[in-house]
Amino acid sequence: MLILHCPWCGPRSQTEFAYGGEAHIARPLSPESLSDAEWADYLFMRKNPKGRHLEQWGHAMGCRRWFNVERDTATYAIQGSYKMGEEPPGGQR
Amino acid sequence: MSRYSIFSLARNALSYHENWSRAWRSPEPKREYDAIIVGGGGHGLATAYYLAKEHGITNVAVLEKGWIGGGNTGRNTTIVRSNYLWDEATHLYEKAMKLWEGLSQDLNYNVMFSQRGVLNLGHTLQDMRDIERRVNANRLNGIDGVVLDTKGVKEIVPIINDSPNARYPILGASFQPRAGVARHDAVAWGFARGADQRGVDIIQNCEVKGIRRENGCVVGVETNKGFIASKKVGVVAAGHSSVIASMAGIRLPLESHPLQALVSESIKPCIPTVIMSNAVHGYISQSDKGDLVIGAGIDSYVGYGQRGSYSIIEGTLAAIVELFPTLSRVRMNRQWGGIVDVCPDACPIISLTPVKGLYFNCGWGTGGFKATPGSGWVFAHTIAQDRPHELNAAFSLDRFSTGHLIDEHGAAAVAH
C-alpha cells in the first residue's frame, strides 16, 4: 500500500487517489500539423520505465486536485510530490 | 531424450523413478544463432518450439533472465477461452484454442488441459445485451457459445448466489463449453522439452542488457553471458517489453501494471467450471488439488514490483463472497503478483519493428496465457518469414498510427 503525499492535504492512503499516468506529456499545440506517427506518439506511446517515474495522481476522495509524484516503479519508493508546473524533487525531468 | 508413455513409466518404476533423463539440457550459449528469443515464458518457448517444428529453424536460443516459466506463465490463473468479440481477436484466440486441444499429444507432455467451460456473468440488462451480441459474434465465427439465464447458471454452479436481492444480481451469462484451464507450469515445461528435443538451446539466468544494431539491422544481443550474435531477435518479455524496446530506441504503447492472484486452502469440489464477472470484478476456478484459484484486478499505477495493493485483494474477495456466500470462511493460502503489459486496446502487439530483424510479441496484458500456443505459432511464422501471418497482421505496431485499433477493453469478456 502506497502512502502518497497530497501537496494540499498531506500524507494519505493510496485508496484515496486516482492514478493519472505519465506526467509532463504536453498536448501538441497544432495537432493538424502532426503526422499520424507523431500523433500516435503523443496519444499512445509511453516511457513505462523500470525505475524513476514522474506520474500524475489526483486526490479523488479528498481535495480532488491533481499533482505529480516522483516514484520508483521497481521498488515503489516515493521520492516526493510536487505541484503541477513545479520541478520534480529529484531534479530534472 | 525418452518419450513419455505408459511403457516408459513402467520401465522407470523398476528403478524407483531415479533415472529419468532431464527434460531439457542446460547449455552454454553459442557465439551465434539463426534466431534468438528473448524471454523464456510460455510464449517465448512456444515460439522457439514452432520455429523448429513448423519452419525448420533449429539453431535457436531462448534467453531467460530468471528461470523458465517463472514470470507470468507461472503466475496466471490458467484460464483458456476464445470468446472475444472482434473478428481479428477471435480468430487469433481460436487458433490457440485449436492448438490447445491437441497440445498434450503434440508435445508428448500432459498439460492437463481441461475443457470445463467458462461462464461470463451478466448482472445488468446492458451486460446481457452485450453478452448476446458477443455470443452471436462468436457463433458467426464458428466458435461455440450459448447465452444462459439465471436458472441455467445455477444448474452449472449450484453454490452461486442467484438471489434477485443481491447488490449485483445474476441475470445470466455467456457459456463457452470448450473453454477451460490448463496446468501453466506444464505448458512452459512441455514447450521447453519439445523445443530442446529439436535442438533449441534454453539458456536460463541470461539477462539481455542491450540490443546491438548496425545500419538499422539487428546483429545480436548483449547479455550478462557476453555478446550473442543473431540477425533475428524476437522479444517476448511481457511486463519488461518496454525496457527491452528502449534498448533499441523503440517506444511502445504499453504500461506495466501489477496483477494479483491468490489461492485458497484445498476444499472439496464445488466449482465445476470457470466463472468470471466483469461487473463485480472477480474470477474463480477450482484446481484439481481442490484449491480455489482467484484472479484479482490490476493496480492502476505502473509497477514492476511483482506485488500489488492490499485494497485490490480486498475488493476481489468481496466480489467472490458476494457471488459465493458459502465461501466466506475459506482461508486463502497464498497470494502473488505478476507484471502485465497492458495495451491501450487490450490486444497484443505481434509485429515487425522499425529495426530490421527485431520482432516484438507483447501487450498481452492480463490475458496472455490462453493464447500461449497460438501466440508462439504466429510469432514463429512472423520471425521465420519476416512478415506477419494473416492471423496476426492486424496486431502490428503501426495500428496505433493508422487508427485500426481492435478495442477489446470494454467490448469483449475482458475482466479488467
CB pairs < 8 Å spanning A and B: 69
Summarize the confidence of residues B19-23 as an average pLDDT. 93
Question: Percentage of residues in chain B with pLDDT exceeding 70?
Answer: 98
- Which of helix, strand or coil describes residue B389? coil
Question: Is A31 inside any structural domain?
Answer: no
Q: Is the pTM of this model over 0.90?
A: yes
Question: Is A12 inside any structural domain?
Answer: no
Distance CA B308, CA A2 (A): 10
Question: Is A71 inside any structural domain?
Answer: yes
Nearest CA to B256 out of A25, A42, A50, A72 is that of: A50
For residue A18, which residues of chain B lie inside 8 Å, CB to CB?
A: 300
| Tens digits of residue pLDDT in B62-117 | 999 999 999 999 999 999 999 999 999 999 999 999 999 999 999 999 999 999 99
Which amino acid makes up residue B65? K
Q: Which pLDDT value is given to residue B172?
A: 97
For residue A14, which residues of chain B lie inside 8 Å, CB to CB?
A: 309, 311
The lowest-confidence range among A16-20, A31-35, B406-410 is B406-410
Q: Which pLDDT value is given to residue B2?
A: 80
- Which of helix, strand or coil describes residue B326? helix
Phi, psi torsion values for B340, nearest 5 degrees: -110, 135
ipTM of predicted assembly, 2 dp: 0.95
The lowest-confidence range among A28-37, A82-91, B29-38, B45-54 is A82-91
| Contact call for residues B373 and B96 (beta carbons, < 8 A) | yes
Question: Is A77 inside any structural domain?
Answer: yes
Phi, psi torsion values for A17, nearest 5 degrees: -110, 155
Per the listing, cell 497530497 goes with A6
Range of the domain at A88: 19-24+37-93
- pLDDT bin (cut points 50, 70, 90) of residue B409 is confident
Radius of gyration of chain B (CA): 21
The dihedral of CA A60, A44, B222, B38: what is its sign?
positive
Summarize the confidence of residues B176-189 as an average pLDDT. 97
Nearest CA to B63 out of B84, B80, B50, B45 is that of: B45
User: B274-277 and B118-122: which strand pairing?
Assistant: parallel
Query: Are the Cβ atoms of B301 and A2 closer than 8 angstroms?
Result: yes
A76 touches chain B (CB under 8 A): yes
A77 touches chain B (CB under 8 A): no
Query: Are the Cβ atoms of B300 and A41 closer than 8 angstroms?
Result: no
Summarize the confidence of residues B169-189 as an average pLDDT. 97
Number of domains in chain A: 1
| Contact call for residues A58 and A20 (beta carbons, < 8 A) | yes
Distance CA B88, CA B204 (A): 34
- pLDDT bin (cut points 50, 70, 90) of residue B278 is confident
For residue A43, which residues of chain B lie inside 8 Å, CB to CB?
A: 400
Which amino acid makes up residue B30? K
Summarize the confidence of residues B362-366 as an average pLDDT. 95
Q: Write the CATH number for A62.
A: 3.30.2270.10
| Contact call for residues B211 and B359 (beta carbons, < 8 A) | no
Question: Percentage of residues in chain B with pLDDT exceeding 90?
Answer: 94
Q: Which pLDDT value is given to residue B99?
A: 98
| Contact call for residues B325 and A28 (beta carbons, < 8 A) | no
Distance CA B49, CA B13 (A): 29
Distance CA B236, CA B71 (A): 11
Summarize the confidence of residues B17-36 as an average pLDDT. 96
B305 touches chain A (CB under 8 A): yes
| Contact call for residues B342 and B368 (beta carbons, < 8 A) | no
Rounded to a whole number of angstroms, the distance between the first and last alpha carbons of chain A is 26
Question: Is A5 inside any structural domain?
Answer: no
The answer on pLDDT for B415 being more than 60 is no
| Contact call for residues B258 and B303 (beta carbons, < 8 A) | yes
Give the H/E segment covering residue B321: helix B310-323
The residue in chain B having the minimum alpha-carbon distance to the alpha carbon of residue A13 is: B311
Q: Which pLDDT value is given to residue B411?
A: 53
Distance CA B201, CA B390 (A): 29
Nearest CA to A82 out of A3, A6, A2, A1 is that of: A6
- Which of helix, strand or coil describes residue A11? strand
Rounded to a whole number of angstroms, the distance between the first and last alpha carbons of chain B is 42
| Contact call for residues B339 and B256 (beta carbons, < 8 A) | yes
Question: Is A70 inside any structural domain?
Answer: yes
Question: Is A69 inside any structural domain?
Answer: yes
The overall average pLDDT reported for chain B is 95
Question: Is A2 inside any structural domain?
Answer: no
Mutate to test the interface with A, among B242, B257, B260, B302 (most CBs of A within 10 A): B302
The answer on pLDDT for B413 being more than 60 is no
- pLDDT bin (cut points 50, 70, 90) of residue A48 is very high
Query: Are the Cβ atoms of B242 and A46 closer than 8 angstroms?
Result: yes
The answer on pLDDT for B20 being more than 60 is yes
Query: Are the Cβ atoms of A55 and B305 closer than 8 angstroms?
Result: no
β-strand partners of B362 = B349
